[in-house]
Amino acid sequence: MQTRAATKDENMQHNKKTRHVPLDSNIDRITTLQNLLEDEISKISNNVTLHAWKILPLRYQTIIMGDRKLDCDTSSEWKPELKYDFDPITGDDEIVTVDLGGTPIQCLKKGDALQHIVKMARIIPDYRKHIPSIRNMEMDDDDVIICAFAKSGTHWLWEITSMLRNGKPDYHGKEKTSAMFEFVPAEVLRASPKPRIYNTHFTPQGLPKQVFDRNCKILFLQRNPKDVLVSLLPFLKGHKFLDSAIKWDEFICKYMELEVESSLLNWFYYTRQWFEFLKEGHDNIYCLAYEDLKDDPVMEITKLAKFLDVGENSDLFKDIAIKCSFHNLKQAATSKVETFTINNKEAAKKITNFTYRKGEVGDWKNYFTIGVNEKFDALYAKKMKGIDFKYRYSL
């Protein structure tokens, strides 16, 4: 009882001080309250229970968990690391700060690591430890990895592949980030039930080393870069990588000046890394195009099924094509509230809205001016010289 009384007195004093904080606007008031709440959560984080953690909104779960996301379906738990510096992973790494519009982002000048400077959006692990652990992760022959640049249809292919491997047109029980190399510790990924379908935005150099010693299958999905970038802007703003006030014209101009070779930001770098890798010849890699899936989903699903050795079933393939239409996928995603680790339907809905935007081919024409389009085409010719792949920019 003495402990409770002391805590209550402390809270009363704390509340009195809070009431006298000068605030100029509602936005300032909300920000101040968020900062105060963050401080209080940080104080109790080492003793937080699993039950208490599960009922917290995502933004405060990530403060508590730091660089780890707790998988409540496994017995694996870990002590959170509340703060860490973004340091080089190896002696050859160089850290740079990128500004695509308002909020600076730290990343390696060349590589797969990226870290928010934004204090309230800590969903990316400490890559100094995480990347080496993923690289050394054990793999099984029947594991499948979906590889794609952001906003290229990873969610779409994730559901299609899950349905093919399970032999029925049922949506996966979790959201795809639950099996994403970027966010989940290797030991948790390994503990997930078979058949395992991982996904990532890493280049080949960031994949587990055993992928190429085993018979793991890799699905490399592409989408034309103009539609990717149009979809990328609201996605980055939704995740607080960019300020919400940033307009398309400012973003695309800054993006075309981007020099950092980060696979999580630079489409040109990411795609070149994959094409150079594909030149080596790998029988366990299957290449798909977003536009082909949109144009004839049944045909593409049929070809994918053959690569995955799941057998011929035309009725199943048609059912999967219907269940995995953009409209149906978006509806299904909104029902996966618990897999976002958010106990808040409105928050999950917002994430879904900027994750599933339009799903169209050719929407870039509504954004690229003639001048920007010509500049982008020239940049593409320079950056992608020697790459013969022809993207489809309309259907």
Structure tokens of 30?
């909300």
d(CA 387, CA 274): 11
Contact 225, 267 (CB under 8 A): yes
d(CA 252, CA 373): 10
d(CA 150, CA 113): 14
Instruction: Please tell me the number of Cα atoms within 13 Å of 334 on its side-chain side.
Output: 12
Contact 93, 379 (CB under 8 A): no
Cα of 308 vs its chain's centroid, Å: 24
- DSSP state at residue 188: H
CA-wise closest residue to 198 among 140, 239, 238:
140
Contact 315, 382 (CB under 8 A): no
d(CA 12, CA 15): 5
CA-wise closest residue to 161 among 149, 148, 150:
148
In which element (H, E) is residue 285 found?
strand 285-289
Contact 70, 81 (CB under 8 A): no
**Most distant CA pair in the chain, distance:** 74
Q: If DSSP codes are grouped into helix, strand and coil, which group holds residue 81?
A: strand
Report the sign of the C-alpha dihedral through residues 199, 205, 206, 212, in that order. Answer: positive
How long, in residues, is the chain?
Answer: 395
d(CA 202, CA 200): 5
Q: Has 201 been annotated as catalytic?
A: yes
**In this structure, how many other beta carbons lie within 10 angstroms of the beta carbon of residue 219?**
23
d(CA 154, CA 324): 12
Catalytic residue among 130, 155, 172, 201: 201
Catalytic residues: 201
